[in-house]
Structures are given as C-alpha cells and as structure tokens.
Amino acid sequence: MTTKRKSGRGKPMNLYMRADDVAKIRELTAYAAGNSQRTSDSMIVRAALRAVSANRAFLAALKDAEASDLRFNREG
C-alpha cells in the first residue's frame, strides 16, 4: 500500500481585497524590502497567517473586516 505524498505546491486561490487591505500588503512588502527581503504578495499573506494567533485580537479584526464587507451588512 502506498501513501500519498503532500505536494510541495499550494492551491491557487482568488482573494478579493479592499483597497486598504492591498495598501497594507504593499506596506508589509516595503517593510520586508527595507530589511533585505525580496518577497511576493502571496508570501506576505502566508507570513501574516503564520504570525496571527487565534485570540481576542483576531476576533476583533474579523469583526472589523466583516463590518467593511457588504456581504455581511445585510439588514433584513
């Protein structure tokens, strides 16, 4: 019986971001470049995911993101 090996490649995804989110990615990219790190948007997002913890600050940020997302602002 053989076991499947995990692929070294990630799954392509489309993420829809607001202008302020894109600006934050650019800010983080500039910070990395200022510290001699050449990177990509994908690597910035992956690094951010590794840096975040499941805590109250994350929940507050999630509520803030939901407040700015029209899909979550339905009244009815």
- Give the start-to-end residue ranges of the domains of the chain: 19-72
Q: Are 25 and 45 in contact (CB under 8 A)?
A: yes
The HSE-up count of residue 42 (CA atoms within 13 Å, CB side) is 6
pLDDT digits (tens, 9 = 90+) for 1-59: 566 666 678 888 888 888 999 999 999 999 999 999 999 999 999 999 999 999 999 99
pTM exceeding the 0.85 threshold for the entire prediction:
no
